[in-house]
Structures are given as structure tokens and as C-alpha cells.
Chains A and B, each alone.
Chain A
Amino acid sequence: MKRNIFKGLLVCGAAAALAGCSENSWNEKYLDGFEAPDLNTPQRNYVDYTLTSSDYSRIAKMKANIEKATAAGVLSQLEAVGTNGYFTETISAKDYLGAWLDSVANTTGSPFKSAVTNTTARISYETASDMPEPVVGINGAMTYTVTTDDYIKVYSPEELDPEKADYADAFSPMCPADKNVPAILAEQFPNAAAGDYVYVTYNQSATNPVWGGGSTGGTETPKFELSNTIASAQLGGKLSCSAVVTGLSSYGIVISDNSGSIFIYLGKAAETDYFIGEQIVIEDATVAANYAGLQLSKPTMEIVDGTTAYTYPTAPVYDVAAWNTLFNDYVAERAAGGAIETRYIQINGTPYMSGTYLNVKVGDSEYVMSPYGAFQAVKDALTVDVAHNIKGYTVTYNQNSKYISMLVTEVDGKPIYSAKAAAAMMFAASRAAANVAYETVNAVYTYNGSKWSTPSDVYVLTATDYKQMGTTNLTAAQAKTFLPQLLA
């Protein structure tokens, strides 16, 4: 009897265990109105988000916003929003946020991915109100950097042949900035209106230049010739080369010689650390790889004064098939322990925002292009939802996130960075530029309807001021801390 009862219980237990409940059995039974949704149905009807500095920049570059601001004659103020990171009464969030919201709403990783009809996006942003007139004006200020031609006109106004003019690449006591900049601005901005502001950058020397007899005793510019070695770089081997900088990123640079190009990983690089055309000599650097992308990692580099003009090779067009093949080649090389060289290629793609990241969709390929270590200049050149032709160097790839990194050098035929003009270490036969020590100065000028002058209620921080504050940069948060102390 007991065994039969026991056996019966075993059968019941087995049946019960096999029966079981589904994951929603309890929900459907006890939660009034519960229905297991389709996977795309979101579960909240509002989403919170706070704009970042990158978002403001993106908003200022949206095609729809540019058109709107241009039509309203406030384009410069829209640009200021991107720089300053806050809206204004003229460029309000109400008017200019919509385009950005549309562009990010349905992207992968978007914070608004779950939005449906009647979803409310609660967006936090910065806005400035009741700003003083100079602040409004400065926010919309144009910018101008005094050029070598300007300095030539200042020092040798009578010389008709600029190649023979005596000049210096800086203002000096004999040619002070405040006496000459207004005239320069008058020429550059003939249509200025009263109340316009310009942010002027120029060089200022404390000593007067001295001309005559060529250079002041400096050494000869050493001869520099491009090598033919980069193309032969092998993973694990050594590379010596003489090359020029042909690509810039925040992680490093690309250098090229007559045979090919290679990425130099520096960890961190500022936009002005190197320039296009700068001459680099490397000896016996070990060739490494970053996820199957060939590179040199923080090699010892000798910078040779001067520049070398470089003609970029023809960049082969990578269509979707070639792009996909490249990705698969990266995967295969990585698996085999190999690496792919830095290639100069071009693609046609459409940028989009992935959360806070700017990526480029290449046709219908499942692999996207990620601008590698892109400075603001690259982001400015790429407009979301607008097709672009993009040239640049392949660097590496990411298998999980399915992208190939490219160091962008040109968008729609326009180089991101221009090659720097030859330095002034030349002998006679060319124009005589006197060497003077100088510092770069920033100033603000305003137009009163008849002439340009420096406004009395605007102060521009100098290098000495930064040094005194003990910092080299001022974010909005840091400004609140450091400026009161400086002003005190």
C-alpha cells in the first residue's frame, strides 16, 4: 500500500515537473491588462536625456539647422552654440533641437530607441538668457588669423613684389597690432556692419626685426629625402624610414614615403602636435599590429625642420564588396596572427549618429566605418544623413562592433588639413623674413560702423593668465572655479 502511494506520488511529481508554467503564466493570471508585447514595443512612455558637448556641436552642423539659421541671418550664432555648448534666446532649443532628435531617434544605441507614438523625450540642456550685448556679439564673432601676406603689406607696403619684401611673421614695436589690424580687418570684411565682432589671432614680438644678409646665422636646413621602405614593413620586423606626415588623429599620425604608408600610434596627440608635410625620420622601429592593423607603436622619431610636399596616391574606391572583403581579411589576419598594411582608400558613405559616436554607413554593408581619433575638423566635414566621398587610411577593425577604423584625410575632395607652408629658414633668393621671437596673441575687435577697434569691456585671456591660473584649458566648469580667482 505504502509503495503504491509512493509510486503514485512519484508519477504525480514527474507529471507536475514536466507540466510546469511558462514565464508569463503568473503575469497573465494576476496582472490586469497584461499582454506579452511584441519585441519592438517599448516599455516606458518617456525617456530622459542630457545633451553633451558633442551633441551641441552636432546640432550646430545639422543641415536643416544651418538652412534655418542662414535664412534667419544668425548662422554665426548657431555656430557659437556648437562651440559654447548652450542655446541662446536666438538659437533656442525649441527651434533647433528637433532636427537632431530626428537624426538620433532610431539609431543603434540611441537613448530614444524605445520611443513610440506619445513617448515624451525629456531632454536637459544648457541655455543662456539675458546675455550682455558684447557676449551676444562675441558668440557670433567671425574669426581671422593674420597671414604672412598681411605682415608683408604691413612691413613693406611699397614693395610691389612680395617675394622681395622685408617683413617679419609678427607685429612688433615698429609695426604694432593696434595700428595695423583695423586696416587688415577693413580689407578682409568690407561688408561689416556696426556691432560685428571679429576674433583675431596674430603674432606679437617684443623686439623689432632686423633685416639684411639672409638668416641670422642659423644652420642650413638639412637635406631630407623620402625613403622607399615603408611598403616592405613586416609584422615583427624592423623599419627605418624617412617619411612625411600625411594623416592626423588624436591617437597618432600616418606617415608616408615613396613606397607606402603606415600608422604611428602615439597614445594621445593634439591637433597641433604635427602638421601635414612634416618630416619624420625613424630608425629601427619594431613593426607591430593593433588588431591586425599594421603600425609602429610610439617609436623614437626625429623631426627634421622643414616640410616636404606630398602628393597623395590615387585612392582606390572600395565599394560594398571590397569593403566587406577588407573586414573579412582583417578577421582572417587576426586569426592567423598577421596584419594588414595601412591603405589609402576612398569610400562613399553616409554618416549617422550611434549614441554619441559618429559612424559612416557604407552602402548596405553590415560593417560601418568609424572615423579613427577624429578631431573636430573631421566631424565638421561629415554631415549626418548626407552622402560623402571620404578618403583616408585604414587603421584597424573591431569584430564585435563590426566596424573598420579609418583615419580621414579628405571629404568630398577637400583636405581636412592643408599642408603647412615652407618654414622661413631659407637663404636669399627668396624674400627676407626676419627671425623674431614672438608669442601668439588673441584679440577681439568690434566695428562701430566706420572703423574697427578693440572694445573696452572685453578682456581676452593671455598665456600669462593661464599660467597664473595654473591651467592650460578652461572648461565651463573650470571657468567657474578659476576665473573669479584670476579676476580678484
Chain B
Amino acid sequence: MKRLILLASIVWLACVAAMAAPGDIKCSGVVVDDQGEPIIGATVSVPGTSVAAATDIDGRFTLEVPKGKNIHISYIGYKSRSLQAAPKMGDIVLDVEAQMLKDVVIEQSAAKTRLTPVAVSTVGAQTIDLKLGNQDLPEVLKTTPGVWTTKQGGGFGDAKTNVRGFKSENVAVMINGIPVNDMEWGGVYWSNFAGLSDVTSNIQVQRGLGATIVSSPTVGGSINITTRTIDTEKGGSVWYGMGNDGMNTYGMKVSTGLMKNGWSVTVLGSRKWGDGYVQYTPYNNYNYFVNISKRINENHQIALTAFGGVQDHIRRANQRSGLSIMGYQTYGEQYMDGECMYKYNPTYGYDKYGHEKTQNKNFSHKPIIQLNHIWKIDDTSSLSSALYASFCDAGGYSGQATGLNGCSYSDWYGATDGVLNMNFRRADGTFDYGAIQDINEASTEGSMYVMSNGINQHQWYGLVSSYKKEFDFQNGDVLNVIGGLDMRYYRGAHFNKIVDLYNGEYFMDYSSRRGVSASLNAAAANPAWQYEHLGVGDIVYKNYRGYTAQEGIYAQGEYTMMDNKFNFVLAGSINNTAYWRHELFYADKAHRDSETVNFWAGTIKGGANWNIDKKNNVFFNAGYISRAPFFQGGAFLSYSSSNATNKNAVNEKVVSFEVGYGYQSRELAVTVNGYYTKWIDKTMAKGGTMEDGNRYSINLEGVNARHMGVEVNLNWIPVQWLNIEGMLSLGNWEWCSNASGYFYNNYGQPLKNVTTGELASGVAAADHAKATVNQKGVKVADSPQTQGSVSVSFLPFKGLRVGADWVAESRTYSDFSLTGSSLSSNGTVNVADPWRIPWGQQLDLFASYSFNLGGVKARLYGNVYNVFNNYYITDAMTNTNVNGTWENAYGVFYSFGRTYSIRMRINF
């Protein structure tokens, strides 16, 4: 037996020697804190060389160390250590650095493995570098259970991300602990944050209730992005990349690291541009990131962070440009001239002078500025505050029509309900913008069609301040208490401005102005006002200001007992959200201001984690969230045209509970969790136009959904050079109630007849027009209810990593659209079964190779996505009045085919 062991050891040593450079030591170990918990993202380096690595989610590292050299381990908040390198270093404990201050605002939103009782997945900076390539940032989460990201129309930054079947407006996105969801409708425009990948330290997805307790409670989950700040190592990097369809990117990052004088400055600038995969979707994006930090003294630390991106890109509009399946076969095949038919963009075209034109240009610049202050009051308490501001200047093209002579804004659409719009279509399939110019030139009533810019300019300011106090009972039990306040103020300006008359002399915004009531806007009393001659720069269609003020307090108690064996968490918050708006188009100065509506909301949630032993743990969490209805489609009946508030608006409620089990060893980590979430009173207000041009709206009540499922996550390292990850997510999500609502006009008065505008005798009276939506049992759409992935990462030799991700999805159901016009007076909409989209899968390859280049460390990355070029459907819609099939599906988008990128980064 001993001889066998000796022989095995000799063979093993020989293999190690064979793999390693002569004299190098293959050094591995696990970095943990004084509690034995792994430290993620700690830097392990060889001083005097460019050799370095970061610890993974389990605190593990592997490093090729030249013979005779030491290794240096560092992590923010902990004392660094230098150790002599050895093959098996075992657990390396770092002690807390008394002088380094922890930012509670950031940390509180982050979950800790085997401590925080939530289902969590983390993607580190290395993985982002390795796998992101030329994708949008959220696409790096595609192997996270419960997360579904699609490119939608395929434009730059137009990806959407759902978590456990909940759409993006129900998933909180935080950057350094600050929520960045839009304050009016809750969604996130990822194009605003396209450059964040270059400075991200990690992205953590918490599914379900989540750990965060600031006043942006999640419904489906939260995505927490943490950028590098004061912990950035001294040095920098430059990079250049290229990819399919003209993609180019370059950038530079420089950091002083934490200098002796306590200052740390990190600056990044990058640019990304290309032609776009989809026909005529070019993009241009400049990103910047600046962080200036100063450790004032032992107790105070301050950091100023500013980042943002200036971008413009051409989109392929989502629902309106997606053809039916046979539409692609007919028109896409015919017009794409040998290129992939699914790239067809129905709104790409030329004007009469041969200039390329579009109606889907989008631009934005949304810098976020954050000032963080940490005050270490004493060894057991601290106060972290973050003051932040964001200033957005964004917009996108929006075609308008005068409404006279049958001209409608919908004439601009590339397609409607999957049918290609042939009104302005050249024989080569391009959109005939020249025909619009001809119509306008020939018209004696000015332009029939014009292009406007829909502008979204907003400013928001906020303050998050958390006080943390630790009570150590000296018996292995610790109580951490956090309390704080979260305040936010938002002002948004939304209006459309004419940018192009398309060869006409002027434009009459008759279609919008005829719906303006003289009792609200005195200008409308003059019938000639409807026919006012407007020019470039004049306002059309809408002009309003939306305001949100939110104040809240929160508290959390976390009790850890028996040396981390048990961890109990109880958290709660209360907040008030106030909305008001100023109407500047449909109302004059005397009627400009709406009433202010207030919604009190709050959360209560708790959970526990039991570390059974060093390897096994179980957790559960449960909670109740009450969330204020959104500004759009909730607090206001017709948010873009009327000050009328929704008298029936109620808070959305979420009831959720979850249990989970985790196993963790040196080679294998497995988590299994099951969840149940009930979403009650989802905000749903719709609107339409009556025959006299005035607007009506309906608020649907009783919109409830149930999301439940099981998720499995696995990470296995059977040998040092092989890493296998896998995940499986099985969900059962469906609408679990029928909804109904009453119709109101622009003044909030109850309507009897939605067509004529006749008033009812009273609210909820027998003659008050009502509509019912029977959708109980209909599957929740837009996300696969079965998901799986397998990732394999291989280290064939020093410096080279290759791998593949195989992702598969199934049981995705087509989405349906409820519009005001589909909800007829006193009618019932029986929502038929959606179409179950067949399963789709794709294989992505990635590789990286690090090498020395003239004394500096360089790394080459390569990515190929969808290697097998498998085109499968990711988005589709069907109507409510007929069971969905592939034949009647529309708004269809296929996955991208095979794409690639290659990038080189040089570190110095």
C-alpha cells in the first residue's frame, strides 16, 4: 500500500513538474476570513512580476509561482499577507484590517455564501472578461438559473432581462447599492450602462426577495453590479477588440491604487462601435468612469464616482418590426439578398435623394455621480452614506402624422401585427422615405408625415445612509443591526419635437390637438389652433413633466449564533412615494398641475441559514412586499396625456417564500432551492381614443400571478485544470386570476359609452362601462419556464483557458398585448392559450491566453457565440382571441446566428 502511495505521489509530482515550467511552483489554496468564510475576489500576486490571480466564489486560487518567490495576498478591509509559495497552501486566513473601512451601502446589498438566506449567483470580473465579448452586459448572466436575457430587436443595448419570469420593471438593478430602475415605469435601458463591463468587479443576481432593503423592493429578484473603487490595484490596462459586423472597441484604464497619502484615482475611457448584426443597426458608444477616493484618516473615507456613456444607435423596433414566421420566409428571404433573412429590418430605407434614413434612432447620455462617505464610529459601528445624482438626456425618433386625409402615425411602422407595411415599400424591400417626401411636397396642407424626437430628460437625486452596529456577545453569537434612510427625488421631462419635415413646408398636429379639451387648454377653444403651422423644433404629440419623491426608512437585524452555525435575518422598511405631474400640451397654465398622490408601502422579510457542517447548509426566507404602483400605467390613467389620477390605484403586493440547500466542498458546490411567489394587484392601466379625439382609460384590478419553481446550480472541479458548471431551472408561472376594470375619461369621470364619451351615472354604477379579462390559468409569457446550461472550462496548459457554454431553454410562451381598444365597453376578453415556443439551444465558445509581451502581461480573448448557427425563436406574440400557434404568431425575433469577437488586453 505504501509503495502504491509513494508511486502515486511520484507520478503526481512528475505530472506537476511536466505541466509547470522548470522551477515554477503550481501554487493553490483557499483564502478565508477569520470566520473561515471564503473571501471572493482577493488578489493573489507574485511581487515583482506580472503574475496574479483573483480568488473565485469559493475563495480558491491557482497560480504559477517562479521558484523561490513569495506570494502576496490582499483584499479590501483585510490585512495583506506575504507567504512563501508552496504547492498546496491550504486555508490562508486574512485578518480584518482595522484601517480599511467597509462600505455598508454597497455591502448590505451583497449576499454572502453560507450566510445570507437568499438564492444567489455571482459572476466575477474574470468571467465577465472571458465571456462577455460583444454581447450586451446582462447577457453574461445567461448561465444563471432563473435569468433570461434576449436581444429583442437586436439593437445595441436593447437586451431585456427577466428573472424567474418577471419582466425587467420588476427586477431591481443596483449599481454600488444604488437603484437605477426608471422612476416612472421601473425598467432599465441597458444601453445607458453598456460600458460598465470594463469596471465591474462582480455582478450578483439574487433571485426572489433578495438581501437589499432600500426602497426599491424587488418582485422577481435583483441584479447588483459592484464596480471597482478604492480596492483597485495600481496600474492599468489598454485593450482593443473587434468582432462581427464591424464591431470595434478600444479603451484604457489607469489606477493609482491606494497611495500612501490615502488617495486613489481610477480613470477609464473606452469606445465601442459597429454596424450591428441586424440590418442597419449601427451604434457608437463612448464610456467613461472616474473614481477618486480618499482615506481621510482612520475613521473617514470618501469616494467620488462618476460614470456614464454617450451612445447613439439605430434600433429595430420591438413588436412593430417583428414579422410573422412566414413573413421572414417571404420578405426577409426576398429582400436580404442572400444574407440571413432574420436580419431584415423593415424600417431601413432611403429618401428620394438616396440618403439612408431611419425612424428608429436612439441616443442617450445618463451619467451617474455618486459620493460615498464611510465613517467608522468605533470598532463596532459605522455610518455609510451615498449621495447620488443622475442626469439623463435621451431620446429616440418617433414618426408623426397629421391625422388628416387618413394619414396616421402607424403608417410609419415597418410592420403591424407581423404584416409588413407596404404603404411605403420599395421593390427592394427598403422603406420608401422618398415617397413620404413626395406626399409632403405635393400636399397643400403641409407635411402629412414628419419625424419627431421623443425626448426623455430627467434628473434624479438621492441619499442612502446606513448605520451599522455590531453586538458581539463573546460567546460566538453576534448581532448586526442596520438602520437607515433612503430618499429619492426625480423630475422627468417628456416631449416630442419635430426634427424633420420631410420636404413639407409645415406640419399641423391635428391628430393630437383635436383631442385637447378647451376646458383644460384655452388654446383649444380656437379651432384654428388644431391647424397651427408648426416647424422643426416645435412640440407635437406630448409634453409633460413627471415627478416622484420617495422617502423611506429601513432596518435589519442579523443574528449569527454558535460561531456562524445559525444566521437569522429580519428586515423591514416603510416608504412613501409621491407622484405628481405637470401637463403642458393638453392643459394650459391654469390646469397644468395634477394632484399629488401618495402611496405608503413597505416590506417585512426574514430568513434563516443553518450551516449543518463545513459542507452543508440549508436556508429559508419568507416575506411580504407592498410596492407603490408605477407612475406609468398605475398612478395616472393616461400618463402621457392627462393629469387624471387613477382613483383605484392600489399597491402591488408580493408574498414569497423559499427554501434551499447547499453543499460545498473543495471540488464540488451544489445549491438547490425551491420558491413560491404570489404577485397580487399588478399595475395595469390601458387607454384609447374616443371618436371625438379625447382619451379614455381603464384600470384593470385583480391582476394576480403565481410564480413557483425549483433551481439547481452546480460547480465541480474534478481536477485542477477542469471546471464544470451546470444549472437547471424548472418553473411553473401563470396568471391566477381574472381582472376587470372601469372606463374613465381624461377628467377621471366614469364613462357609459367609450365611443361617444357619454358619462355614466356614477362610479361603479350599473351603467358605468366595464371590461373583464379572463386570463386565469394562462401561462406567463416572455421567459422560458425550463432552463438549463452546462459550462466546461479547461486549462490545457499555462496561460490558456478554453471553454464552452451550452444553454437551452424551453416552455417559453408567446406574449399577448392588451390595448385600450381591445377592451371594449362592457366586453369580455377571453385570453386564449398562448403559443408554446419550441425549445432552443446554443453553444458558445470562449478562450483566453495570457502571455508576456515585452515585460508586461497581455491577455488575448476570443469568443464565438452560437457556434452551430442555430436560429431559434426567442420572442413572439399572439393575439388574445385565438389560441396561439406558430402560424398566427407575430412580433417574432430569432436568436442571432454565429457571431464572434476577439480582444487583446495589455496590463501594466
In the complex, which residues of chain B have a beta carbon less than 8 angstroms from the beta carbon of A373? 442
Would A37 and B330 count as touching, CB distance under 8 A? yes
Would B867 and A2 count as touching, CB distance under 8 A? no
Which residues 440-488 of A sit at the B interface, judged by CB distance below 8 A?
A: 470-471, 473, 475, 477-478, 481-482, 485
Would A34 and B886 count as touching, CB distance under 8 A? yes
Which residues 835-880 of B sit at the A interface, judged by CB distance below 8 A?
A: 838-840, 843, 845, 864, 867-873
Given contacts A251-B441, A485-B527, contact A398 B352 (CB under 8 A): yes
In the complex, which residues of chain B have a beta carbon less than 8 angstroms from the beta carbon of A111? 422-423
Q: What's the Cα separation between A31 and B892 when bound, in Å?
A: 14
- Is A109 an interface residue when CB atoms closer than 8 A count as contact? yes
In the complex, which residues of chain B have a beta carbon less than 8 angstroms from the beta carbon of A478? 531
Would B794 and A39 count as touching, CB distance under 8 A? no
- Is A316 an interface residue when CB atoms closer than 8 A count as contact? no
Q: What's the Cα separation between A355 and B845 when bound, in Å?
A: 49
Which residues 162-205 of A sit at the B interface, judged by CB distance below 8 A?
A: none
- Is A3 an interface residue when CB atoms closer than 8 A count as contact? yes
In the complex, which residues of chain B have a beta carbon less than 8 angstroms from the beta carbon of A337? none
In the complex, which residues of chain A have a beta carbon less than 8 angstroms from the beta carbon of B838? 26, 30-31
Residue in B326, B505, B838 with the greatest tally of chain A CB atoms within 10 Å:
B326
- Could you give, for residues 239-253 of chain B, a 1 whenever the CB lies within 8 Å of some chain A CB and a 0 otherwise? 000000000000000
In the complex, which residues of chain A have a beta carbon less than 8 angstroms from the beta carbon of B425? 109
- Is A312 an interface residue when CB atoms closer than 8 A count as contact? no
Which residues 406-441 of A sit at the B interface, judged by CB distance below 8 A?
A: none
Given contacts A26-B871, A52-B406, A477-B510, contact A20 B530 (CB under 8 A): no
- Is A110 an interface residue when CB atoms closer than 8 A count as contact? yes
B843 vs chain A, min Cβ distance (A): 7
Which residues 1-36 of A sit at the B interface, judged by CB distance below 8 A?
A: 2-3, 5-6, 9, 13, 16-17, 19-21, 23-27, 30-34, 36
Would B898 and A471 count as touching, CB distance under 8 A? no
Segment touching A, from B333-341, B468-476, B489-497, B760-768: B333-341
Would A50 and B869 count as touching, CB distance under 8 A? no
Given contacts A39-B330, A401-B434, contact A17 B898 (CB under 8 A): yes
Q: What's the Cα separation between A43 and B897 when bound, in Å?
A: 23
Would A475 and B404 count as touching, CB distance under 8 A? yes
In the complex, which residues of chain A have a beta carbon less than 8 angstroms from the beta carbon of B324? 43-44
Q: What's the Cα separation between A53 and B425 when bound, in Å?
A: 20
**What number of A residues sit within 8 Å (CB to CB) of B?**
60
- Could you give, for residues 787-800 of chain B, a 1 whenever the CB lies within 8 Å of some chain A CB and a 0 otherwise? 00000001011000
**Which of B419, B505, B796, B869 sits near A21, CB closer than 8 Å?**
B869
Which residues 284-335 of B sit at the A interface, judged by CB distance below 8 A?
A: 323-327, 329-331, 333-334
Would B326 and A20 count as touching, CB distance under 8 A? no
A204 vs chain B, min Cβ distance (A): 27
Q: What's the Cα separation between A318 and B527 when bound, in Å?
A: 51
Would A114 and B867 count as touching, CB distance under 8 A? no
Q: What's the Cα separation between A50 and B445 when bound, in Å?
A: 20
Would A39 and B419 count as touching, CB distance under 8 A? no
A24 vs chain B, min Cβ distance (A): 8
Given contacts A9-B794, A43-B326, A52-B405, contact A26 B872 (CB under 8 A): yes
In the complex, which residues of chain A have a beta carbon less than 8 angstroms from the beta carbon of B562? none
- Is A216 an interface residue when CB atoms closer than 8 A count as contact? no
**Which of A13, A32, A251 sits near B867, CB closer than 8 Å?**
A13
B739 vs chain A, min Cβ distance (A): 29
Residue of B nearest to A42 (CB): B330
Would B325 and A27 count as touching, CB distance under 8 A? yes
Given contacts A34-B886, A52-B406, contact A2 B868 (CB under 8 A): no
- Is B427 an interface residue when CB atoms closer than 8 A count as contact? yes
**Which of A2, A5, A20, A43 sits near B898, CB closer than 8 Å?**
A20
Given contacts A111-B423, A355-B423, contact A471 B531 (CB under 8 A): yes
Given contacts A44-B324, A485-B527, contact A114 B870 (CB under 8 A): no
What's the dominant secondary structure at chain B's contact region? mixed
Q: What's the Cα separation between A421 and B603 when bound, in Å?
A: 88
Would A26 and B796 count as touching, CB distance under 8 A? no
- Is B536 an interface residue when CB atoms closer than 8 A count as contact? no
- Is B409 an interface residue when CB atoms closer than 8 A count as contact? no
Residue of B nearest to A355 (CB): B423
Given contacts A6-B796, A42-B330, A52-B405, contact A21 B870 (CB under 8 A): yes
Would A16 and B530 count as touching, CB distance under 8 A? no
Would A6 and B435 count as touching, CB distance under 8 A? no
Would B868 and A268 count as touching, CB distance under 8 A? no
Would B327 and A43 count as touching, CB distance under 8 A? yes
- Is A113 an interface residue when CB atoms closer than 8 A count as contact? yes
Would B329 and A36 count as touching, CB distance under 8 A? yes
In the complex, which residues of chain B have a beta carbon less than 8 angstroms from the beta carbon of A32? 886
- Is B721 an interface residue when CB atoms closer than 8 A count as contact? yes
B598 vs chain A, min Cβ distance (A): 40
Residue of B nearest to A291 (CB): B353
Given contacts A23-B871, A251-B441, contact A268 B794 (CB under 8 A): no
Would A268 and B871 count as touching, CB distance under 8 A? no
- Is B610 an interface residue when CB atoms closer than 8 A count as contact? no
Would A16 and B329 count as touching, CB distance under 8 A? no
Q: What's the Cα separation between A407 and B560 when bound, in Å?
A: 90
Would B870 and A6 count as touching, CB distance under 8 A? no
Would B350 and A400 count as touching, CB distance under 8 A? yes
Classify chain B's interface size.
35 or more
Residue of A nearest to B840 (CB): A26
Would B527 and A482 count as touching, CB distance under 8 A? yes
Residue of A nearest to B872 (CB): A26
In the complex, which residues of chain B have a beta carbon less than 8 angstroms from the beta carbon of A36? 329, 333
Q: What's the Cα separation between A149 and B299 when bound, in Å?
A: 107
Would B422 and A109 count as touching, CB distance under 8 A? yes
In the complex, which residues of chain A have a beta carbon less than 8 angstroms from the beta carbon of B434? 400-401
Would B871 and A475 count as touching, CB distance under 8 A? no
Would B330 and A43 count as touching, CB distance under 8 A? yes
Residue of B nearest to A1 (CB): B15
B886 vs chain A, min Cβ distance (A): 5
Q: What's the Cα separation between A43 and B352 when bound, in Å?
A: 29
- Is A250 an interface residue when CB atoms closer than 8 A count as contact? yes
Q: What's the Cα separation between A481 and B510 when bound, in Å?
A: 11
**Which of B352, B435, B528 sits near A470, CB closer than 8 Å?**
B528
- Is B460 an interface residue when CB atoms closer than 8 A count as contact? no
A13 vs chain B, min Cβ distance (A): 6
Residue of B nearest to A370 (CB): B438
- Is B426 an interface residue when CB atoms closer than 8 A count as contact? yes
Q: What's the Cα separation between A173 and B539 when bound, in Å?
A: 52
Residue of B nearest to A251 (CB): B441
- Could you give, for residues 804-823 of chain B, a 1 whenever the CB lies within 8 Å of some chain A CB and a 0 otherwise? 10000000000000000000
- Could you give, for residues 110-143 of chain A, a 1 whenever the CB lies within 8 Å of some chain B CB and a 0 otherwise? 1101100000000000000000000000000000
Which residues 418-445 of B sit at the A interface, judged by CB distance below 8 A?
A: 418-419, 422-423, 425-427, 432, 434-435, 438, 441-442, 444-445
- Is A322 an interface residue when CB atoms closer than 8 A count as contact? no
In the complex, which residues of chain A have a beta carbon less than 8 angstroms from the beta carbon of B870? 21, 25-26
Would A21 and B333 count as touching, CB distance under 8 A? no
- Is A311 an interface residue when CB atoms closer than 8 A count as contact? no
Q: What's the Cα separation between A33 and B528 when bound, in Å?
A: 57
Q: What's the Cα separation between A25 and B868 when bound, in Å?
A: 11
- Could you give, for residues 244-268 of chain A, a 1 whenever the CB lies within 8 Å of some chain B CB and a 0 otherwise? 0000001100000000000000011
- Is B802 an interface residue when CB atoms closer than 8 A count as contact? yes
- Is A47 an interface residue when CB atoms closer than 8 A count as contact? yes
- Is A92 an interface residue when CB atoms closer than 8 A count as contact? no
- Could you give, for residues 438-455 of chain B, a 1 whenever the CB lies within 8 Å of some chain A CB and a 0 otherwise? 100110110000000000
Q: 15 additional contacts, CB 8 Å, given A25-B871, A37-B329? A: A13-B867, A16-B843, A23-B342, A26-B870, A39-B334, A43-B331, A51-B406, A109-B425, A250-B442, A373-B442, A400-B426, A401-B352, A470-B527, A471-B528, A473-B444
What are 21 pairs between A and B in contact, CB < 8 Å? A2-B796, A2-B797, A6-B794, A6-B796, A21-B870, A24-B329, A24-B871, A25-B871, A26-B840, A30-B839, A31-B886, A41-B330, A44-B326, A44-B327, A44-B418, A50-B406, A109-B426, A110-B422, A113-B422, A357-B438, A400-B434
3 closest cross-chain pairs (CB), A and B: A43-B326, A30-B838, A20-B869
